[in-house]
Amino acid sequence: MRDPDPRVLMEWYDRHARRLPWRVPPEASKEGVRADPYRVWLSEVMLQQTTVAAAKGYYLAFTERWPDVDALAAAEDAEVMAAWAGLGYYARARNLLKCARAVSAAGGRFPGTEDALQALPGIGPYTAAAIAAIAFGRQATVLDGNVERVMARLFAVEAPLPGAKETLRAHAARLTPEARPGDHAQAVMDLGATICTPRSPACGICPWRPGCAGQRLGLAETLPRKAPKKAKPTRRGIAYFARRPDGSVLLEDRPPKGLLGGMRGLPSTEWVEGTPQPAPPCEAAWTSEPGAVRHTFTHFHLVLDLAHADVPAGTVPARGRFFSSEAAPAASLPTVMRKAYRLGMRCRDDAG
């Protein structure tokens, strides 16, 4: 069986490409217009472990507030972390700032090769290939989850991921053309997102159906295979919600490194597999809500007890400081802390 024809896919893409705010549409790309590297980079970082629907609003807000890499580089860390809140995987936001500042310090221009891009903070092989192909027209192999799925089905690769990744990369590289490599990469992504979907792929309207070994063998929907995942452990902790008579709430900035690094949230204990040691941030008549907040991270489940209290106006905490809801709105907190904050507000209102 011959390899699928990239030209057939490009004809499909020219008619059916998704219209996304960070993309140059195919009619402009064919005229030589290329995407802004800053916007490609920003969108690709946001899309890591995140859906297009979830990332789009954040992307539009970021580019309106920080329209280029120099503007982002000059932003305050706390402003960027607050703007990222809710998008998850907060190390991405820290690396976003590090990368923006490195690029700005070097003259405000992203390099155009994969090796040079990977030398920047937070840019790995996938993001480097995407920027090189889409923004600079390099014949780079872009391999995200959609592309892996398409390649696994096209070539009936039954070996499970992640072990099969390099085999899938080799197939993707063989199909990547010299002409319009960025559009080709986006076309394969669109194919995976809209037709070659994880469940119930629409094989009947797929432009690459004639060359798809997985469809011919009746395996398409079962691919790609994945190695069994390890069970996630459960960690526990205590979050402290303290509110003064003026309505301000005690918050602290987490250490710059580690989970939720640099993000603002309620003071809490360490998150441990076992019984957490209480560590209240101030003297108060704490009321406990056991197991009140639950959240799942990539590698573990988290169960937080919520301890809440109203405290006098002159309370001086051992850590953190009091913020009004206007100065630190709940929307600026990471998702797990937002859950705890809103629950704390309800508990104190009910207690009052």
Residues involved in catalysis: 44
CA distances (Å), origin 89, targets 61, 63, 65, 113, 143: 18, 20, 21, 26, 20
3-state helix, strand, coil in the chain (%, to 5): 45, 10, 45
Contact 219, 156 (CB under 8 A): yes
DSSP string across 308-340: EEE--TT---SS-EEE-TTTS-GGGS-HHHHHH
Residue with tokens 């002159």: 314
- With b for 16 or more beta-carbon neighbours within 10 A and e for fewer, the 20-29 pattern comes to bebbbebeeb
Cross-strand bridge partners of residue 243: 249, 310
Contact 127, 110 (CB under 8 A): no
List the alpha helices (DSSP H) in 91-164.
91-105, 114-118, 125-136, 145-154
Contact 35, 110 (CB under 8 A): no
Peptide bond into 207 cis (omega under 30): no
DSSP state of 150: H
Question: What residue type is assigned to position 155 of the chain?
Answer: F
Nearest to 35 by CA among 177, 140, 182: 182
Strands 301-310 and 234-243: parallel
Alpha-carbon span 221 to 120, nearest angstrom: 37
